[in-house]
Amino acid sequence: MQTVSATDRRLLQPQFRRILRNDGCNLINPEPVTQTEAPIASPIATLRALHPGALPAEIALTGPGLVIGRDARCAAVVVRREGVSRRHCWIGRHQAGPWTIRDLDSRNGVFVNGQRIEGEHALAAGDVVGLGRSRLADFELNINGLERQVVLSGTGPWRIGRDLACELSLPADPGVSQQHAIMRQQDGQLLLEDSGSRNGTWLNGRRIRRARLQPGDSIILAGSRVRLETTKPEPRLAVSTIEQALSVQVQALSTGSAPGQGLSFEILPARLQALVVADTEQRLALLDVLAGMRTPSGGALAWSEPELNQARARLRTRVGRVGRREVPVCAVPVEAWLEQQASLAAAGDVSEKSRRERVATILAELNANHLNALNLDRLTALEQALVQLASELLTNPGLLLVDVPAALESASDRAELLDRLQALAGPRLSIVLALDQPLDIVPGAAHIDIHIGAPGPMARERDRALRPRGFSAAASRALLRDQLRGWRRQPLMLFETLALPVLLVAGLWLALPDHSDSWILLVSLGLAAALGAAFQVSRQPGRLLRTARRHLLLDDALLAVFTAACLVAAVQTGLGLTVFLLLPDSSLTPGLFLAAILSALSGTALGLVCGAIAGHRSELALLLVASLGAGMVVADSLAEKGLALASPLPWSQAVADMATAPHAAALGAAIMAIQLTGLVLVARYLLQRRL
């Protein structure tokens, strides 16, 4: 944002004479030169910016209104963003009429509640306005603190979602699905049912699939709150956004890292604060608890949003965490990587254009538009911290936790980062700097006093089994790309993994001359695929598992890692078959080819299970695969004694003999499919436990 010079002021229309500045945004307060009309007694109305940082949180609407645009010489509120015209729109009132918005022939249009307007359009409390974009609003109209009122007419059912065709449309909330939920009348009562949304439907702090509604119930859909006021004669809803700065009171909190100590302190809303915890382990554990990533062993937290006290899963969205290195070092543009992160946080059906707009808005808030032209492997330490900060802001958190010692080591970089954070803190965002020692370079940050006493009673876990978010193909693709980039960053390990079937086929053929070539091939492909999949999970578990935990991803992460492991297994199978064909007197039949594919898939699923058990311990994953492989070989040798179900090897051999025993081959393929499904479900259960 730029200031308006004296020369620019002389170029303004005569009625614009006084210039105010607020948080870096130019506000030109119109004053009529001649008093041709009596002052209008209007209600208190403000435009509330829906993004922290570049624009002031509240813009007062007074007098004949304000012009919004890109050019400071003719606009009252300057929004320097792509898609905004020089004079984009006007918002004001005519006499005692309603507040009105007028499109000043802008190139990209004005959108109210997602609908493009033509000419003038009357505004109501709670309406959201987008400049040049329908799916990412810029302002919300606030009139005397009233909420947007929606009456559901007819007999229903009534759809709720981001789609403009919904009876209750929330197009400006990227966390709301196109068809998020549905309301209907049933047996004289109002019923709310989730429509398979990605981010879930929350009723009075509980995530629900289906529930009956009563007047006064509070429904949360991503960043929007819907309150049911009345049900008769027609349902009346009050709609508002909940993306406000958070505060929390912590009482006798015990994280388990410091036994016998209970921490008590308060984080105030809408400001930058410093929290000094010298012990690194205790500081990280405390941040994990506040971010909903860890369950406290004692004490209590009282959040300013009551729903957060009952639903720890929502903390993953409302609280951001910066500190641990999450930005990969690879030749990927910053903008592309942030778009992938946006796909993890938003609803699964958000368009690529909307994700790009969100990323551009966040980078503009951080005054870091230059990062778009850079790759991740070309970033300085400060730029990496800014990129990570941008990725956390994509979810519109109300509280941002910044572990300064882990984020930056240079004093100058710390000072620069803290300047950016001071500009972000405000009515929509509280920021806490977690420090190991007091810093003199944070003059604007309030210090949080910590009182240490006895720990509180054992916390009662209300979300013992956190429900994961709904599946998103876009999120799964983003995680898959990250998995494939991980192999590119470790070419030696990829080469070793791909060479496993070659070594196993040749080695077993030399070591076990009494076994058939087909048995050697099937054993080699199964073990090689299992080892490759186990390494896929355990070689870099930090990024995959932290991303899955951070965004409560389950099926998205499972599909991504299983697909990446299957791609590796496909190459392994091709190499193993090539070596097999080089063996003397070997021939590849259709049955053997199908058995080889099924063995590789079973090995992949087994490797996922071992990797999920081992976590970041690659050696344990290798030991588990070797032990289970040996156990299956033993079970195969005891097949005649009724232990055949414990191993896929006898069934894969039955499939290989398809030409001579088709019925046995069909049975073997069916049992192998059941074994594969069971292993995938076990892997899913283990990953869910890690959330």
Residue 523 lies in a domain: no
Query: How many domains does the chain fold into?
Result: 3
Q: Which position has the token pair 């609280």?
A: 319
Which tokens is 101 given? Answer: 């918005």
Q: Are residues 135 and 72 in the same domain?
A: yes
CB 461 within 8 A of CB 297: no
Question: Distance between CA 229 and CA 239 in Å, rounded?
Answer: 10
Residue 377 lies in a domain: yes
Q: Are residues 117 and 154 in the same domain?
A: no
Q: Are residues 139 and 152 in the same domain?
A: no
pLDDT at 268: 92
Question: Distance between CA 162 and CA 135 in Å, rounded?
Answer: 8
Residue 395 lies in a domain: yes
Question: Distance between CA 69 and CA 645 in Å, rounded?
Answer: 71
pLDDT at 267: 93
pLDDT at 38: 35
Domain around 215: 148-241
Helix (H, G, I), strand (E, B) or coil at 69: strand
CB 554 within 8 A of CB 468: yes
Helix (H, G, I), strand (E, B) or coil at 688: helix
Question: Distance between CA 303 and CA 475 in Å, rounded?
Answer: 29
Which tokens is 230 given? Answer: 């009345």
Q: Are residues 235 and 185 in the same domain?
A: yes
Q: Are residues 184 and 78 in the same domain?
A: no
Q: How many CA atoms lie within 13 A of 452 on its CB side?
A: 8
Pick from 432, 452, 472: which residue ends a domain? Answer: 452
- 281: domain CATH number is 3.40.50.300
Q: State the greatest distance between any 2 C-alpha atoms of the chain, in Å, as a whole number.
A: 107
Q: Are residues 118 and 154 in the same domain?
A: no
Residue 410 lies in a domain: yes
Residue 537 lies in a domain: no
pLDDT at 439: 67
Which tokens is 178 given? Answer: 């196109």
Helix (H, G, I), strand (E, B) or coil at 89: strand
Helix (H, G, I), strand (E, B) or coil at 51: coil
pLDDT at 102: 92
Question: Distance between CA 269 and CA 40 in Å, rounded?
Answer: 35
Report which secondary-structure segment, H or E, holds 504. Answer: helix 491-511
Q: Are residues 306 and 435 in the same domain?
A: yes
Question: Distance between CA 679 and CA 458 in Å, rounded?
Answer: 36
Which tokens is 24 given? Answer: 């870096």
Q: Are residues 277 and 404 in the same domain?
A: yes
Which tokens is 312 given? Answer: 């720890």
Residue 441 lies in a domain: yes
> CA-based Rg of the chain, rounded to a whole angstrom?
30
Question: Distance between CA 644 and CA 161 in Å, rounded?
Answer: 51
Q: Count Cβ atoms below 10 Å from residue 571 Cβ, excluding itself.
A: 14
What separation in angstroms does the CA of 123 have from each of 91, 100, 195, 640, 653?
9, 5, 30, 79, 72
Amino acid, res. 403: D
What's the 3-state SS for 407-453?
HCCCHHHHHHHHHHHHHHCECCEEEEEEECCCCCCCCCCEECCCEEE
What is the value of pTM for the model shown? 0.79
pLDDT, mean of each 10-residue run, the chain (691 residues): 35 30 36 35 69 64 82 85 87 83 91 87 86 78 80 88 86 85 89 90 90 92 90 87 87 78 89 88 89 85 87 85 76 88 78 81 84 88 89 89 76 82 86 81 70 69 65 86 80 84 89 84 90 76 72 88 91 92 87 92 90 79 82 65 63 84 87 89 87 75
Q: Count Cβ atoms below 10 Å from residue 195 Cβ, excluding itself.
A: 15
CB 85 within 8 A of CB 104: yes
Amino acid, res. 196: G
- 84: domain CATH number is 2.60.200.20
pLDDT at 597: 93
Which tokens is 352 given? Answer: 């690529």
Question: Distance between CA 103 and CA 120 in Å, rounded?
Answer: 7
Which runs of consecutive H residues, i.e. helices, occur in 179-314? 280-290, 306-310
Q: Count Cβ atoms below 10 Å from residue 467 Cβ, excluding itself.
A: 15
Tally of helices (H runs) and strands (E runs) in the chain: 18, 33
Q: Are residues 307 and 406 in the same domain?
A: yes
What separation in angstroms does the CA of 668 have from each of 64, 258, 635, 653, 662?
80, 55, 16, 8, 10
Q: Are residues 191 and 265 in the same domain?
A: no
Q: What is the DSSP letter of 329?
A: -
- The b/e string for 599-629 (b: 16+ C-beta within 10 A; e otherwise) is bbbbbbbbbbbbbbbbbeebebbbebbeebb
Burial (CB count within 10 angstroms: exposed 0-12, middle 13-18, buried 19+), residue 216: exposed
Residue 594 lies in a domain: no
Q: What is the DSSP letter of 157?
A: -
Q: Which position has the token pair 């079970």?
A: 635
Pick from 427, 452, 477: which residue ends a domain? Answer: 452
Q: Are residues 328 and 218 in the same domain?
A: no
CB 141 within 8 A of CB 93: no
CB within 8 Å of 651: residues ≥ 6 apart: 644, 667, 668, 669, 671, 672, 675
What separation in angstroms does the CA of 443 have from each of 322, 409, 427, 432, 435?
21, 19, 20, 14, 14
CB 40 within 8 A of CB 57: no
Instruction: Specify the pairing of strand 430-435 against strand 399-403.
Output: parallel
Which tokens is 20 given? Answer: 């105010």
CB 30 within 8 A of CB 19: no
Pick from 143, 170, 186: which residue ends a domain? Answer: 143
Question: Distance between CA 12 and CA 9 in Å, rounded?
Answer: 5
Q: How many CA atoms lie within 13 A of 133 on its CB side?
A: 21
Residue 545 lies in a domain: no
CB 98 within 8 A of CB 40: no
Which tokens is 441 given? Answer: 């370079």
Q: Are residues 127 and 252 in the same domain?
A: no
